[in-house]
Structure 1
Amino acid sequence: MNMSEQDPRPTVAPAAATAAHPGAAPRQHYPQPLLPMNMRNWTMVWYRNFMVWKKLAIPSMIGNLADPMIYLFGLGLGLGLLVGQVNGVSYIAFLAAGTTASSVMMSASFESMYSAFSRMHVQRTWEAIMHAPLTLGDVVLGEIMWAASKAVLSGMAIMLVAGALGYAQLPGALLALPVIVLAGIAFASLAMIVTALAPSYDFFMFYQTLVMTPMLLLSGVFFPLEQLPAGAQAATQVLPLAHAVALIRPIMLGRPVENLVLHLIVLGAYAAVALVVALMLLRRRLLR
């Protein structure tokens, strides 16, 4: 759970204050469009979250990087002595690319769930923002782009560490940056759907246990997909993390990418569809 980037000063909108005092006038909601008003307004939400995060940047970055680094060096160095090479490279180099992709999923998902839920439900920061000339679509897009930005930071940090140790081909590995951005948006959008449905923080454990953990184990992060039975290999084709790994790993290892267009289309479809679904669910939750 990544709670470090929450604003320590809760923002209470007039609507929230009304809800807290039954004797006050009833809260009013105003009709708002489903989509963002333009392509600029969401940057204000992004900037607001950045300014809060900047005060806690170092502990936040340590928290985001701890798990993937433990996987990388714990499993990479430990199992690497037993496994040897995988697909023509050392196991730790194979794992480094998969860990880069999985860290994007983890960072984007946790930010869109725990931190965004705090701003939406606990602090009611979203309600305060929507009293300005911003719509719910602006707020949600800003939150998703902020979560994707943190995912990019996490993924790039692991990539640079791997490259410095000789487990990734630099500077060619930097060509994976657009893929990391797209994957971050996709995972942040999917997690925002969970946030729209969540009654409390405990609800997120279901998504972590039933969706994220199986995806982590079945998407080629720790072992080649060819080791799975044929039926399981076919099932992995619907997992966004599998497509992210299939793009990031060959780029980091300096190899050609197979089915490039297919992987990009799948990740783009997850990002677009999940964003629309999240907006619809959040409008029903917040503006009814």
Structure 2
Amino acid sequence: MVSALKKSRAGVKPLKVLKTVLRWAFNIVIALIFFIPFYWMVITSLKTLGQTLATPPTFWVSDPQWQNYPEVFTKVDVWGELKNSLIVTAGTLVCQCITVIPAAYAFARYEFKGSKILFGITLATMMIPSQLIFLPVYLMFSSWGMINTYWSLILPSASSAFAIFMLRQTFKQVSEELLEAARLDKAGEFKIIWKIMLPLARPTVVTLAMLTFISVWNDYFWPLVMTTKETVRTLPVGIASLQMTESGINYNIMMAGNVILVIPVLIVFFFAQKQIIKAFTYTGVK
């Protein structure tokens, strides 16, 4: 019996090692899928145009062309467009807080006539691509005289069906007894949202804020449609204009612009990552 047990343990150990190796191999492959495009963008930004177009391509740069980055600033108003992108992104986040949180709370905690139909319509809007509705939206903003304004870039993303859905699902997990106790203490609905619901939904809120930031910051389509003046042009549109040259596309300069564009996203992700960890380790009433 003892020998059989030893054989069983001997068989389990190699299987456990194999699972660990396969798990690490899978994680490495996934990491490389995300890392290689970023690495290629960075090294291309440090090449000459000739090196960029060389065949076969080189995977390392022996003489980095750091002057590609200052050249981006000479061809594009990076600081002005960076300011515009920050204003649009911050404005969108504020608007979504105002619209998404009360809507998610209402759908989660109240049963009113037509609530399920209204929630279904809200979810259905996620299946409508922005390219399908851009013309009526453009005509609407044009009739209001809001083309080439920050509002034309903020209001189309002022709410999010996906965010409402995710936050509603989180709010539904909060105990009704906890809310009733708060109401007995004469807490109003807004106080309940601020003091109870949002702290308990912190992981979802932080994650949605990150996703919204990345989506709005990288948005190219709406700023391209809604702006014709450089005064309100956002950074993605400005970086894309680098490819419109008489001598052809300077891929190295364009990649340098893309590196500049992605730096704020990396900074926000670096700091928000710690907040997400804190949010998920937060211990509250379930």
Same fold, TM exceeding 0.5?
Answer: no
Greater Rg by CA = 2
Report the TM-score when normalising by structure 2. Answer: 0.29
